C-alpha cells in the first residue's frame, strides 16, 4: 500500500450531513461536510482515548465531537474545544491535542482524499471529460472484494483473459484467444493501451449495436490517482461515435480487502429504462473478475513482482507496466512497510498527514512504517525478462490443443439442442450461476415435447409454469400473475355440506409416521372424514398392527386405508410410497410429513455427530423428500391455479419455547418451517398449498409414559399450556390437519398454525 496517492473515499451522494466512517490503507478515517458543503477527512481515532469520531456529533461550526468526552476537531485536525474546560484554550488544557487531517476535494461525483503528507507531490487527478456533459448518461456501483487491491487490478490488466474469462473472442485472428497487436504507452502517472479488434457483440440488445464483422477500438487507460482503470470501447464500431466507457476506482481497505467503485457511461440508448441492462452487462464481466480475484492465492499479494516468476509476452506485459508505476511510488519512499505493520486490534494505524511535517513532535500515535528507498532490495521491473515470442517461429499448427471442455465454463455452451437466438438472449439476461439450470430445464422440456429446438415460446411457457403462472397482460406488453376461481370439490359439486361427516370424501392422504402418536391420531380423524389414508413406518409388524387399529378406530372399510413400510430418509422409498398410493387409490391429494426423530437430548457439545445427523436426516431430509415426490405427483395430475392440493409439515413448540438439550431438534424444526415457506411460494400458483402445524405437548403413548416416569415434565408442561390441558392426537391434531386439507383452508398457504394450547404465548 502506498501513501501520497489520491484515493476515492466514496460517492458524493453518500456524504450528506452525517459523518461517515471509512477504512483505507488499514487506517480508520472519518468523512464529513462543513456547513458550506466542503468535504473533510481526518483520522477517526480520537487522540485522547481512541474513541470513534464518526460516532460523535457534527456541529454547525464545522467541528466533529468525540462521543466520549466531547473534544471537538475541525476539518484541519485542530482540536478547537475541550468542553469540560471551555473557558480555557485547548492547548492550555491539553497541550498538543490534534489529529491527522488529509487533503480532500470533491470531483466527478466522488470524494477524493490524498492519504499522505505531501499532496503536492502526488500524481494529479486526471480529467474526466464525460462528467457533466449532457451527451453522456451514467450509472454507478460499489462493492467490497475479498482480495488484495493488486490482485483486484491484475484480473483485468491484460487482453488474454477477455476470451478465457469473459468469452469475448478476438474474431478474425487465426487464434481467437491471442491478443491482437497493441501498444502500451506509459508515463509516471499511468499508462495507455490501444487495440483494434473484430469481436462479436454480446447477444440480445447488444447485437443491435453494430454490424457483424465491424471492427471496434478498445482503449485502456490506467491512472495512479484512485488506482483507476478507464476502459473505452466504440461499441457501435469504429467511426460510429457510440462509446461504452467505464471508470473503475480501486481503494485498498486493508491488506486483504478492496473497495471497488464503478461509473458506467454511455452516449447511446440514453433512455433511463436502459440503465439496468447497461449496468448488468458491465457487472457481468466485473463479477467474473471478482470470482477470479477472490480465488487467487496468496490472499495478500506480494509487494512487487516475483523475481522468480514466469512472465509471458501476451499475458504479463500490461501487468509489468503496472508494477513499474508501483516501483516509482516505492522509490519515492511512499510504500508502507507491511512487514512491520501491527494488527489493527493491537495498534492504531495512522497515515502520515501534512501537519506532521509542520509539527514533528507531540503526536499521540505513530504513523505507519514506510520502506526507505535505501532499504529497497526488490528487483526492478526493467530487470525482469520474458520471452520475445514474436521473434520465434511456431512449431505447432494454429489449431493445436483445440478440444471440447468436459464442463464448459460458458453457460450457453451447455446447450446441446438447437436454440432460437432470442431464446438464448433470454438466458443471458439471467445471473450466470443459474444459466446452466435454465438451459437444462428448457432442453428437457423440448425433448419431452419430442423436439430438438428451444424456442422463445417454449421459454415463455416454462416461465409461466415455474415463475408464478405469468400470463400476457391486456395490452400484451407485460406479464401479470395468473388468477383463477377456486375449484369446487367433488363434495361441493354434489351439494353436500359437512353435516354427513364426509368432508374429505374422495381425498387421498399420506401420513408418514402414522402408526402411533399424533400421526395415528391425524390418520384416524382423516379416515373418519372420508379420506383414503396411507400410513407409514419402518417396522412392518407395528405397521400392520396399526393398520388394524386404524380400521377399527375410524370405522372404515378395509380398502380405505393402507400401510407402507419405508425408511423416511430413502429417496427410493419416498418415490415408491407415492407410486404405491397412486396405484392403490388412483391419485394423491395430500401428504403429512409427520415422521420424526427427537435426538438423544444431550447438551450440544455432548451430542454425537451420528445423533445430530439422524435428527437432521429424519426431520429435514425426510420432509424434503416427502414434499418432492408429492409435488411431482400433483404436477403430473395437472395441478394448476385454483386447485387444492395440500402438504402439511410438522414443527414444534420447542422452536418458540426453547428447552435445554434440544439444539439439533429445534434446528431441524426451524428448517422445516423454512422449507414450508420457500416451497409454498414456489408452487402456490400451481394450486399446491404448503403449511406447517406446530404442536405443543400431546397425550401420546410415549408422552404419557414419560410423564409417569418423570412427573416434573408434566408439571412444567402444565404450567406452559394455558388452556389447562395437553393436546389430544385425534381431536386437536386431527381436526387441524383436516382443516388444512379441506376446502375450508384453500386460501391459506405458507403459514405455521399453532396447535399448542397456548404454549408459545
Residue 181 gets which letter from DSSP? P
Map grid coordinates 382423516 to a residue. 526
Instruction: Decide if 73 contacts 41 (C-beta within 8 A).
Output: no
From the candidates 138, 222, 665, 683, give the one annotated as an active-site residue.
665
Grid cell, residue 738, equals 383436516
Beta-bridge partners for 28: 23
Beta strands 453-454 and 418-419 are parallel
Grid cell, residue 264, equals 458506467
Beta-bridge partners for 193: 184, 220
Sheet strands (E) in 594-707: 645-652, 688-695
Longest dimension (CA), the chain: 99
The alpha carbon dihedral of 672, 514, 697, 750 has a sign of: positive
Please give the Cα distance from 515 to 260 (Å, whole number).
Answer: 59
Please give the Cα distance from 562 to 559 (Å, whole number).
Answer: 7
Residue 393 makes CB contacts below 8 A (sequence gap 6+) with none
Grid cell, residue 159, equals 487482453
Return phi, psi of residue 161, to 5°: -70, -20
Is residue 665 part of the annotated active site? The answer reads yes
Residue 4 gets which letter from DSSP? S
Tell me the C-alpha to C-alpha distance, in Å, between residue 540 and each of 3, 176, 519, 565, 701: 76, 65, 16, 6, 19
Please give the Cα distance from 556 to 726 (Å, whole number).
Answer: 28
Residue 618 makes CB contacts below 8 A (sequence gap 6+) with 568, 569, 595, 596, 597, 668
Residue 57 gets which letter from DSSP? -
Q: ∠317-323-329 over CA atoms, to 5°?
A: 150
Q: Which residues are catalytic?
A: 665
Amino acid at each position: 500500500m502506498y501513501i501520497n496517492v489520491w484515493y476515492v473515499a466514496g460517492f458524493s451522494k453518500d456524504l450528506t450531513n452525517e459523518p461517515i466512517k471509512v477504512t483505507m490503507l488499514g487506517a480508520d478515517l472519518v468523512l464529513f461536510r462543513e456547513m458550506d458543503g466542503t468535504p473533510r477527512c481526518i483520522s477517526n481515532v480520537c487522540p485522547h482515548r481512541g474513541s470513534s469520531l464518526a460516532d460523535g456529533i457534527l456541529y454547525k461550526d464545522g467541528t466533529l465531537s468525540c462521543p466520549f468526552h466531547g473534544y471537538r476537531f475541525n476539518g484541519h485536525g485542530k482540536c478547537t474545544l475541550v468542553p469540560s474546560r471551555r473557558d480555557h484554550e485547548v492547548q492550555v488544557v491539553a497541550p498538543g491535542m490534534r489529529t491527522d487531517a488529509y487533503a480532500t476535494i470533491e470531483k466527478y461525483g466522488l470524494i477524493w482524499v490524498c492519504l499522505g503528507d505531501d499532496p503536492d507531490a502526488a500524481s494529479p487527478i486526471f480529467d474526466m471529460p464525460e462528467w457533466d456533459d449532457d451527451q453522456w448518461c451514467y450509472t454507478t456501483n460499489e462493492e467490497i472484494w475479498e482480495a488484495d487491491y493488486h490482485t483486484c487490478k491484475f484480473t483485468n490488466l491484460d487482453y488474454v483473459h477477455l476470451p478465457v474469462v469473459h468469452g469475448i473472442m478476438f474474431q478474425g485472428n487465426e487464434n481467437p484467444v491471442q491478443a491482437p497487436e497493441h501498444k502500451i504507452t506509459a508515463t509516471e502517472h499511468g499508462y495507455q493501451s490501444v487495440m483494434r479488434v473484430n469481436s462479436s457483440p454480446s447477444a440480445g440488445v447488444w447485437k443491435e449495436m453494430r454490424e457483424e464483422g465491424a471492427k471496434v477500438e478498445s482503449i485502456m487507460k490506467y491512472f495512479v490517482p484512485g488506482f483507476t482503470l478507464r476502459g473505452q470501447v466504440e461499441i457501435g464500431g469504429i467511426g460510429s461515435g457510440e462509446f461504452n466507457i467505464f471508470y473503475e476506482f480501486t481503494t485498498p481497505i486493508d491488506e486483504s480487502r478492496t473497495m471497488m467503485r464503478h461509473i458506467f457511461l454511455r452516449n447511446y440508448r440514453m433512455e433511463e429504462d436502459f440503465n439496468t441492462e447497461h449496468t448488468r452487462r458491465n457487472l457481468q464481466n466485473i463479477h467474473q473478475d471478482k470470482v477470479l480475484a477472490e480465488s487467487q492465492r496468496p490472499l495478500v499479494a506480494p509487494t512487487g513482482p516475483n523475481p522468480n516468476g514466469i512472465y509471458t509476452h501476451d499475458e504479463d506485459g500490461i501487468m509489468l507496466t503496472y508494477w513499474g508505476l508501483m516501483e516509482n511510488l516505492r522509490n519515492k519512499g511512499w510504500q508502507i512497510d507491511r512487514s512491520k505493520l501491527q494488527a489493527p486490534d493491537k495498534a492504531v494505524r495512522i497515515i502520515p498527514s501534512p501537519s506532521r511535517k509542520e509539527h514533528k513532535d507531540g503526536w499521540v500515535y505513530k504513523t505507519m512504517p514506510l520502506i526507505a528507498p535505501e532499504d529497497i532490495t526488490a528487483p526492478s521491473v526493467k530487470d525482469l525478462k520474458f520471452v520475445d515470442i514474436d521473434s520465434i517461429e511456431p512449431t505447432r499448427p494454429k489449431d493445436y490443443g483445440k478440444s471440447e471442455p468436459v464442463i464448459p465454463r460458458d453457460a450457453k455452451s451447455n446447450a446441446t439442442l438447437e436454440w432460437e437466438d432470442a431464446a438464448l438472449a433470454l438466458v443471458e439476461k439471467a445471473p450466470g450461476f443459474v444459466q446452466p439450470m435454465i438451459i437444462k430445464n428448457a432442453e428437457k422440456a423440448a425433448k419431452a415435447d419430442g423436439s430438438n429446438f428451444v424456442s422463445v415460446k417454449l421459454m415463455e411457457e416454462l416461465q409461466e409454469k415455474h415463475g408464478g403462472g405469468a400470463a400476457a397482460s391486456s395490452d400484451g406488453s407485460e406479464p401479470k400473475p395468473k388468477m383463477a376461481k377456486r375449484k369446487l370439490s367433488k363434495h361441493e359439486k354434489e351439494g353436500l355440506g359437512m353435516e354427513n361427516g364426509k368432508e374429505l370424501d374422495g381425498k387421498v392422504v399420506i401420513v408418514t409416521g402414522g402408526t402411533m402418536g399424533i400421526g395415528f391420531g391425524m390418520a384416524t380423524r382423516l379416515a373418519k372424514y372420508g379420506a383414503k389414508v396411507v400410513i407409514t413406518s419402518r417396522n412392518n409388524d407395528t405397521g400392520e398392527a396399526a393398520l388394524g387399529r386404524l380400521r377399527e378406530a375410524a370405522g372404515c372399510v378395509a380398502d380405505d386405508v393402507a400401510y407402507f413400510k419405508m425408511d423416511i430418509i430413502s429417496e427410493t422409498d419416498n418415490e415408491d410410497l407415492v407410486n404405491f398410493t397412486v396405484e392403490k387409490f388412483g391419485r394423491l391429494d395430500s401428504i403429512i410429513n409427520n415422521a420424526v426423530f427427537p435426538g438423544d437430548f444431550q447438551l450440544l457439545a455432548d451430542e454425537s455427530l451420528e445423533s445430530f445427523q439422524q435428527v437432521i436426516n429424519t426431520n429435514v431430509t425426510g420432509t424434503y423428500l416427502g414434499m418432492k415426490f408429492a409435488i411431482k405427483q400433483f404436477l403430473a395430475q395437472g395441478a394448476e391455479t385454483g386447485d387444492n392440493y395440500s402438504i402439511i409439515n410438522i414443527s414444534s413448540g420447542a422452536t418458540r419455547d426453547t428447552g435445554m438439550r434440544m439444539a439439533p431438534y429445534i434446528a431441524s424444526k426451524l428448517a422445516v418451517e423454512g422449507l414450508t415457506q420457500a416451497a409454498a411460494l414456489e408452487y402456490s400458483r400451481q394450486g399446491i398449498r404448503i403449511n406447517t402445524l406446530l404442536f405443543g405437548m400431546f397425550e401420546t403413548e410415549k408422552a404419557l409414559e414419560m410423564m409417569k416416569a418423570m412427573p416434573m415434565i408434566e408439571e412444567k408442561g402444565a404450567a406452559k399450556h394455558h388452556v389447562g390441558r395437553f393436546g389430544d392426537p385425534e381431536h386437536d391434531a386431527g381436526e387441524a390437519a383436516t382443516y388444512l386439507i379441506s376446502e375450508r383452508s384453500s386460501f391459506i398457504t405458507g403459514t405455521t398454525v399453532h396447535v399448542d394450547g397456548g404454549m408459545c404465548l
